[in-house]
Amino acid sequence: EAQVTQNPRYLITVTGKKLTVTCSQNMNHEYMSWYRQDPGLGLRQIYYSMNVEVTDKGDVPEGYKVSRKEKRNFPLILESPSPNQTSLYFCASSWRDPKNIQYFGAGTRLSVL
């Protein structure tokens, strides 16, 4: 079954404690991206990757890091989380580039206290 898997689904942490949200896809997609979704602000892209070792900033990259060492995995790293990073996060993947259908993960709800 084609899918994008994110873990964890729910996470409560404290300010400054480094965390990683994992994302894995089994469709051999080249394009992957991370979004955050906040009420009234919609989906905002954090980072995207066109392929292995190729990443670039989206609209709201501050406070986040990513890496793309393997085609299937695209982890999101918060090195020093702050309360304003409390949000619902989605990983997505698509074939080649964003003009193709994007497949989304189930989401990670993060609370930073």
**CB contact at 8 A, 56 and 47:** yes
Q: Does 102 help bind other proteins (rule: CB under 8 A)?
A: yes
Binding mask 30-69 for other proteins (x = CB under 8 A): ---x------xxxxxx--x-x-----x-xx----------
Find the DSSP H helices in the chain: none
Q: Which helix (H) or strand (E) holds 8?
A: none
Q: Which stretch binds other proteins (CB under 8 A): 12-20, 63-71, 74-82, 94-102?
A: 94-102
**Under rule CB under 8 A, residue 90 binds other proteins:** yes
CB of 104 to other proteins, least distance (A): 3
* Kind of pairing between the strands at 19-25 and 4-7: antiparallel
Structure-token pair, residue 52: 């292995």
